[in-house]
Structure 1
């Protein structure tokens, strides 16, 4: 194929920012991929798009956009990187791939304050929950005063193990957000302990604290305002390493988690499907379905269901767009029979507009 023919084909698949705004506002399935390098994108794209760097797009697009005929918009740095990738994807049968003219510079040329996004940003959503529920908080200075006074307080860090290991409040225990109900009784054995939930900033800490409150734990629960960022701003040292992480769940903790799942899910109604139904949905050529296993990576590595991908529940709570790239997709959350992780994730994601179903499986019996 000549260079001129490639240019002609990709040019016909280029859209402008106004078109993308209209697509973001309609109800048809849409995937937006920010293909700039991860170190350039940082925490979140201005589109809250899924960041899939250009050198990984062709190899990994099936994970993020499982169905070939989904409108997919590639957004680059305005440097023309997206055009040849769009052509290559079209050659494999992905005929609905488009390129945003001018890339991110064009999209942000008039500022970012009023831009439509793919998803409700985790920060905005968590702040809305905080304001609605009056979620209690403590400052870094207040927490340090409690620690120095020997108060009965425990810090639970709800980030991933890798983030926790890189730096956390001294003495904190690493329990990723979706694991809170399942691990709570093993980590916090006393109802008198003040539980402070932390993350790097706000979203996962607020949602984690409110999860525990909604689930009816007897403890006083707060979130650490601005998390480890605030801790450093107070000139306090972070602790590094995997110093204290969640462990195996004992039977008593699992039973307590089941009770709290019932509490937090009292007003939730999610369909429960079996594996055959989930696989039929995933194979549907007219609708995108994600099969997301929200257990820990260690559990997933030991036993998993076919066609599923591991998506730690805590990350889905804060940055769902990093995994769920297709707007309007159906999401099946996979968990063990306790449903402690899936119920927490479903409880919050459905409030962000996602269509959710649960698939519970006895992984121990199938191991």
Structure 2
């Protein structure tokens, strides 16, 4: 590790080869891309985790819970890496450096660049199909079977919210982590064909292979290329479907538990006691992730204190959204003996060496409600106003500049009338903000607004926040607007990369290009050489 100078203080530098060496050797490392998601999706190292500069304070405590973990930061020349390092150091992270030469340095050193998001999981899914020859059927064949009235069930392995937007006609929502637990009750006859779909390929491949691995007696197939393949074949999708799976019966639950236990043992998943969990928590030299893989509804009803909600199927699809340190230690829990083991057996194949399952909750503290907000540092108090006061101010002769720091999709869906969209990383440099005499900040739960108000205060700009954020405004019964346009934005909406399969109006060419990209991921993995994946055979 060398040292280079910055305006504020010397900042350590780490070479691309050093990063790759830690990845290959199974040593902990967090590689952070601090650009917004859209530019990140145009090219990044395989295990780079997207954590935009303006969202660090909101998200880093969950992604990197150990302050002494090695963290390497980069951008692509936008000038965000050095401020990110400084911010992380202020938050208490002690081993932070920039990547030598940034993204271009990675490329010039021979590092592979991957496009899109959640790429470790997507490339792993392609590798699973390549090695296991996961059975699949094209859309035309599935459509014909439905038309003939054959005995089949269609299980959508995505989150319910995605299924509700668009789905295969007749399909029901069974998120990937629920499949092995519930399929025997959905298809009690071994003659019933089970078809698993997602939007593209990954979750249908992993979901189908989960059922194959769990040795269900039914014929099981992935819908080849998911809803994208269905659309490309010229078939219509359902919208607004709400079919879900019922709870498993006792006998089928026990069968699922025994199969999941067998798979966990085969892949080296270890079962731990509450005392062993306590020992892991005390280990200052490991980064520990505690994740509850049940449904969000179950989590909110009752969960172990300190565990985050990470629905099993989505965790495998997007591990980098919960786990920021490659080769960290992961502890999963559930209340059924199936979902945590099934998820863990996939994480082991994804190259996570330390994966544990906690079954026994005896003596451990419980909590209810949504997952608490995790902040790396307590926020100082700032000036605030309530919804009544904001409504009055907005209707007055000199309305304040109302800035909404929600993500662009959330802003587009609903925002306070008169609010402008702005990226947190732009707020301290925007001309309208600099010139405004009265500024009010909001965000969905108020956290991002509070963080931004603190940063503005540091440069001498006073801003108030809306108590309870936009969610509180809506809860009070007040009206909201929809849409994001040139007229109500102060930043380009580059914070979210729109996947080709999202929405209902995608061009066929974009969908086909997305599939072609997925088909090439196995070759990219081979060229990259840092993945450490080991598919169960």
Q: Which interval holds the TM-score relative to the shorter structure?
A: 0.7 to 0.9
Output the TM-score relative to the length of structure 2: 0.61
Shift of 1:18: 4.1
1:92-107 alignment to 2 at 5 Å?
A: 92-107=91-106
Where 1:20 maps in the other structure, the secondary structure is helix
* Partner in structure 1 of residue 88 of structure 2: 89
Deviates more, 1:135-144 or 1:156-165: 156-165
* Structure-2 residue corresponding to 1:306: 305
Question: Aligned residue for 2:333?
Answer: 334
| Counterpart residue number, 1:215 | 214
Q: Distance in 2 between matches of 1:270 and 1:23?
A: 23
TM-score between both structures, scaled by the size of structure 1: 0.87
Matched residue of 2:243: which SS? Answer: coil
**Residue 293 in structure 1 maps to residue 292 in structure 2:** yes
Are the counterparts in 2 of residues 157 and 199 from structure 1 also a CA contact under 8 Å?
yes
Determine the structure 2 residue equivalent to 1:254.
253
For residues 134 and 19 of structure 1, do their structure 2 counterparts lie closer, same or farther at Cα, with a shift above 3 Å needed?
closer
The one-character-per-residue Cα deviations of 1:228-281 (angstroms, maximum 9, x if unpaired) are 111111122222224212343443442332243245446344322123321331
- 1:351 partnered with 2:345: no
Distance 1:167 1:285, change over 3 A: same
Contact 1:216 1:263 in 2 (8 A): no
Answer whether contact 1:58 1:85 (CA < 8 A) is retained: no
274 and 242 in structure 1: CA distance in 2 versus 1, 3 angstrom threshold? farther
Compared with structure 1, are the counterparts of its residues 143 and 273 closer, same or farther at alpha carbon in structure 2 (3 Å cutoff)?
A: same
Matched, 1:47 2:41: no
Structure 1: distance between partners of 2:44 and 2:155: 28
The answer (yes or no) to whether the contact 2:269–2:348 under 8 Å persists in 1 is no
2:315 corresponds in structure 1 to: 316
In structure 1, C-alpha distance between the alignment counterparts of 2:39 and 2:245, rounded to whole Å: 32
Cα offset, 1:356, TM superposition: 1.0
- 1:155 maps to 2:154: yes
Deviations 1:306-346 (A, max 9, x none): 2111111112223322222112211111111x311111112
User: Are 2:67 and 2:93, in contact at CA under 8 Å, matched by a contact in 1?
Assistant: yes
1:204 aligns with 2:174: no
Deviation, 1:304, is: 1.1
Question: Residues 144-188 of structure 1: CA distance to partner in whole angstroms, max 9, x if unpaired?
Answer: 111111111211111112222222211111111111111113322
Matches within 5 A, 1:91-170: 91-108=90-107, 113=112, 121-170=120-169
Q: Secondary structure at the match of 1:58?
A: helix
2:275 pairs with 1:276:
yes
Go from structure 1 to structure 2 and tell me whether the alpha carbon gap of 1:31 and 1:255 turns closer, same or farther (over 3 Å shift).
same
Q: Extract unaligned runs of 5+ from structure 2.
A: 369-537
Q: Deviations over 1:108-133 (max 9, x none)?
A: 46887578xxx982233223322333
Higher mean displacement: 347-356 or 59-68: 347-356
SS in 1 for 2:83: helix
> 3-state SS of the aligned residue for 1:73?
strand
Partner of 1:181: 180
Give ranges in structure 1 of 5+ residues lacking alignment.
none
TM-align CA RMSD: 2.8
Query: What SS does the corresponding residue of 1:178 show, helix, strand or coil?
Result: helix
Which residue pairs with 2:7 in the alignment? 7
2: distance between equivalents of 1:192 and 1:241?
Answer: 29
Answer with 1 or 2: which has the greater Rg.
Answer: 2
> 1:244 corresponds to which residue?
243
Q: Distance in 1 between matches of 2:159 and 2:276?
A: 31
CA distance in 2, matches of 1:247, 1:299: 14
